[in-house]
């Protein structure tokens, strides 16, 4: 396995406020990490920091072992980090094709090549993005990310406002993208069970700290551990496990 993304002792926030601290995460090439946690835990702020849109307050971020200078979105993007933000940020009056084209890299794949992964976009190709359904818009958002040939894909609440069946479909696509393109995916999600189905590993952030982490299937089978992590009572468990084995999951 190849470590694609690694952050160590990472802290960050906006201005002098700290939203997350001492976060260590490793995501392997071709794998999906579900980043879970209650509202206000710091998930979005962590993704914004990993993608260079916010400068870290401390710690390091590396892609394929090469350390990034924090707070530089262009450098993070050049290293292969692509953020799928929680607000979709589509150009609603541009067509599907134009939305993909504006994100494409010079000498990168052609927009049409995305239809292999997102066949449902074919009959919407010349429509304005604003005329698409919520699920189709999220496919377009993912297509726009994929055309950038990500090595690290940071996805913030892709499922917001979508029916569970559509979410399941989208998550299966996310998992296929991770495997086919060998990228490291961090999936921030409120649909905990659906996220754990597609993820390899999971981490729960609560009040800015990782309070639980482990294999996704194992955590899915331990709802009581997840619940206490959400309630913020699992910190002691993680500390104890880390002290004995060096792995917070065991
Ligand atoms: N634009 C902002 N300006 C100042 N503080 C902010 C801003 N956005 C978020 N925060 C604060 O940063 C902290 C972390 O918020 P963040 O948005 O990262 O949480 P989150 O885990 O993504 O929550 P949610 O699940 O609701 O999206 C919170 O205390 C929040 O109030
Ligand atoms: Mg958020």
What is residue 123's DSSP assignment?
A: G
What's the pLDDT at 208? 96
- Which residue has tokens 């994929």? 146
Q: How far is the CA of 33 from the centre of ligand 1 (A)?
A: 20
Q: How far is the CA of 103 from the centre of ligand 1 (A)?
A: 27
Residues 220-237, mean pLDDT to the nearest whole number: 81
Chain-wide mean pLDDT for the chain? 91
Nearest CA to ligand 1 atom 17: 44
**Whether residue 19 has its Cβ less than 6 Å from ligand 1:** yes
What is residue 249's DSSP assignment?
A: T
Measured between alpha carbons, how far is 123 from 133 in angstroms, rounded to an integer? 13
**Whether residue 146 has its Cβ less than 6 Å from ligand 1:** no
Measured between alpha carbons, how far is 6 from 61 in angstroms, rounded to an integer? 6
Measured between alpha carbons, how far is 129 from 90 in angstroms, rounded to an integer? 7
Q: Is the pTM of the predicted complex or chain greater than 0.95?
A: no
Residues 211-239, mean pLDDT to the nearest whole number: 84
Measured between alpha carbons, how far is 53 from 47 in angstroms, rounded to an integer? 9
Ligand 1 atom with least separation from CA of 48: 18
CA–chain centroid gap for 67, Å, is: 19
Q: Which string of DSSP letters, residue by residue, matches 107-156?
A: TS--GGGGGGT-GGGGGGTTSBGGGS-HHHHHHHHHHHHHTT--SEEEEE
Burial of 207 (0-12, 13-18, 19+ CB in 10 A): middle
Q: Which residues pair with 212 in a beta bridge?
A: 204
What's the pLDDT at 250? 37
Instruction: Domain 3-80+150-245: state its class.
Output: alpha beta
Q: Which residues pair with 153 in a beta bridge?
A: 82, 185
Residues 216-245, mean pLDDT to the nearest whole number: 76
**Whether residue 35 has its Cβ less than 6 Å from ligand 1:** no
Residue-range domain boundaries for the chain: 3-80+150-245, 90-149
More confident of the two residues 235 and 37 = 37
Residues 136-146, mean pLDDT to the nearest whole number: 93
Measured between alpha carbons, how far is 199 from 175 in angstroms, rounded to an integer? 8
Q: Which of 73-87, 106-120, 187-201 has the lowest mean pLDDT?
A: 106-120
**Whether residue 105 has its Cβ less than 6 Å from ligand 1:** no
What's the pLDDT at 162? 87
Phi, psi of 179 (to 5 degrees): -70, -50
Give yes or no for residue 249 having a pLDDT over 70.
Answer: no
Residues 136-162, mean pLDDT to the nearest whole number: 93
> Tokens standing for 200?
């390899």
Query: What's the pLDDT band for 241 if we cut at 50, 70, 90?
Result: low
**Whether residue 191 has its Cβ less than 6 Å from ligand 1:** no
Q: Which of 125, 141, 191 is nearest to 163 (CA)?
A: 191
Q: How far is the CA of 84 from the centre of ligand 1 (A)?
A: 16
How many residues comprise the chain? 250
Quote the percentage of the chain above a pLDDT of 70.
93
CA dihedral of residues 18, 24, 28, 34 (deg, nearest 10): -60
**Whether residue 228 has its Cβ less than 6 Å from ligand 1:** no
Q: How far is the CA of 116 from the centre of ligand 2 (A)?
A: 30
What's the pLDDT at 128? 96
**Whether residue 41 has its Cβ less than 6 Å from ligand 1:** yes
Q: How far is the CA of 19 from the centre of ligand 2 (A)?
A: 11
């Amino acid at each position: 396995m190849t470590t694609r993304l690694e952050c160590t002792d990472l802290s960050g926030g906006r201005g002098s406020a700290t939203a997350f601290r001492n976060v260590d995460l490793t995501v392997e090439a071709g794998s999906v990490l579900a980043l879970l946690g209650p509202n206000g835990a710091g998930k979005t702020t962590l993704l914004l920091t990993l993608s260079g849109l916010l400068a870290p307050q401390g710690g390091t971020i590396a892609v394929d072992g090469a350390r990034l200078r924090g707070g530089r979105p262009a450098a993070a993007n050049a290293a292969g980090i692509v953020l799928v933000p929680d607000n979709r940020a589509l150009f609603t009056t541009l067509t599907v094709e134009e939305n993909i084209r504006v994100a494409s890299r010079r000498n990168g794949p052609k927009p049409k090549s995305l239809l292999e992964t997102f066949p449902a976009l074919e009959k919407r190709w010349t429509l304005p993005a604003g005329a698409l359904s919520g699920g189709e818009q999220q496919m377009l958002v993912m297509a726009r990310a994929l055309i950038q040939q990500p090595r690290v894909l940071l996805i913030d609440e892709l499922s917001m406002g979508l029916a569970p069946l559509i979410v399941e479909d989208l998550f299966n696509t996310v998992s296929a993208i991770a495997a086919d393109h060998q990228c490291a995916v961090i999936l921030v999600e409120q649909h905990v069970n659906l996220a754990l189905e597609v993820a390899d590993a999971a981490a729960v952030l609560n009040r800015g700290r990782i309070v639980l982490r482990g294999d996704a299937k194992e955590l899915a089978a331990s709802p009581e551990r997840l619940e206490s992590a959400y309630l913020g009572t699992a910190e002691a468990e993680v500390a104890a496990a880390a002290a004995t084995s060096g792995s917070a999951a065991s």
